[in-house]
Amino acid sequence: MSNVLIIGATSAIAIAFARQCASRKDRLFLVARNATRLQMLVDDLQARGAVAIASQLLDVSRLDRHVEVLSAAVKFLKILDVVLIAHGSLPDQQVCETNPSALQQALQINGNATINLLALVANRLQSQHCGALLVISSVAGDRGRASNYVYGAAKAAVSTFASGLRNRLYRDNVRVITVKPGFVDTPMTVSFDKGLLWAQPETIARGMQRAIDRRRNVVYLPAFWRWIMWLIRAVPESIFKRLSL
Ligand SMILES: NC(=O)c1ccc[n+]([C@@H]2O[C@H](COP(=O)([O-])OP(=O)(O)OC[C@H]3O[C@@H](n4cnc5c(N)ncnc54)[C@H](OP(=O)(O)O)[C@@H]3O)[C@@H](O)[C@H]2O)c1
């Protein structure tokens, strides 16, 4: 049995992960911004076997509330064995190109808020000398593309920050796992046409659990994205800038 904190708990990927935890009879502290959906999730996880669940509402863009929410989680769980930071939003790239407040909001949710939570949770795990900290970044953070570089830039910042934390916390027995999904069929991507490269949230959740069990550092999910992104990163900038991706 593990003590698990999930931030952005109503995300489709986080729900799939939380269900795995519930069926293993873990203790859960869930954080999300929508009260109705959060309560539905609590009921669902209780029915699936979670031993104890508490929850708290948080709009992650309220950085001033992060300390308070983390304190509530620690009070309930005591030791944090696993922490998953899963929230995110896919901004409208074209709107962000001309609207500075939309740009700032996209960077705040996908970048600043995630990094602030990573920093706070990392300090807590360091003081415990144990724990696994998973953060959902994205393959979009591996290279900027015209169609989504605002989201990609925020995810790149998250991946780099997580890399530094992993390096810093290695000697404290704290594992930092960067999760880089490719295309996942969730509410975030509801308007996209789906094809062969698309995965279900349950596949990503299973991959995240495997990453914890195998003490992985950076996981592309599904794994074939590692090779796709290797190829994409290998394209020289002089050619890449001419492509429509
Ligand atoms: N789907 C993909 O193709 C894909 C690919 C790579 C990475 N990812 C990443 O995977 C993670 C999970 O996303 P998903 O695909 O599972 O999509 P999702 O189901 O749409 O989940 C996104 C979650 O983020 C929450 N959220 C957004 N803004 C928030 C805020 N200001 N405060 C609190 N919560 C907020 C949403 O809350 P509400 O329920 O209240 O809206 C929702 O629960 C995200 O970090 C995303 O960037 C997704």
We report the CATH number of the domain holding residue 12 as 3.40.50.720
Count of domains observed in the chain: 1
**DSSP class of 25:** T
Q: What is the pLDDT of residue 51?
A: 86
Give the number of other CB atoms < 10 A from CB of residue 208: 27
Domain of residue 198 covers 3-240
Give a yes or no: residue 32 inside a domain.
yes
Give a yes or no: residue 125 inside a domain.
yes
Pocket test for ligand 1, best of 17, 30, 33, 208 (most atoms within 8 A of CB): 33
Tell me how far apart the alpha carbons of residues 129 and 125 are, in angstroms, rounded to a whole number: 6
- In ligand 1, the atom with minimum distance to the C-alpha of 188 is 20
> What is the distance in A from the centroid of ligand 1 to the CA of 109?
10
Q: Whose CA is nearest to atom 26 of ligand 1?
A: 87
Closest to 84 (Cα-Cα) out of 219, 220, 208, 210: 208
Tell me how far apart the alpha carbons of residues 54 and 199 are, in angstroms, rounded to a whole number: 30
Residue 174, judged by CB atoms within 10 A of its CB (0-12, 13-18, 19+), counts as buried
Instruction: Reduce the DSSP state of residue 30 to 3 states and report it.
Output: strand
Q: Report whether residue 150 contacts ligand 1, using a CB cutoff of 6 Å.
A: no
Q: What is the pLDDT of residue 152?
A: 98
Listing DSSP states for 184-207 in one string gives B-SGGGTTSPP-TT-B-HHHHHHH
- In ligand 1, the atom with minimum distance to the C-alpha of 184 is 3
Q: What is the pLDDT of residue 244?
A: 87
- In ligand 1, the atom with minimum distance to the C-alpha of 201 is 16
Q: What is the pLDDT of residue 26?
A: 96
Amino acid at site 57: L
- In ligand 1, the atom with minimum distance to the C-alpha of 189 is 1
Tell me how far apart the alpha carbons of residues 172 and 132 are, in angstroms, rounded to a whole number: 11
Q: Report whether residue 91 contacts ligand 1, using a CB cutoff of 6 Å.
A: no
Give a yes or no: residue 245 inside a domain.
no
Q: What is this structure's pTM?
A: 0.98
Give the number of other CB atoms < 10 A from CB of residue 58: 23
The list of the chain residues with pLDDT below 50 reads none
Give a yes or no: residue 88 inside a domain.
yes
Q: What is the pLDDT of residue 238?
A: 97
pLDDT tens, position by position, 51-99: 899 999 999 999 999 999 999 999 999 999 999 999 999 999 999 999 9
Which tokens is 18 given? 């939380």
Does residue 132 contact residue 121 with C-beta atoms inside 8 Å?
A: no
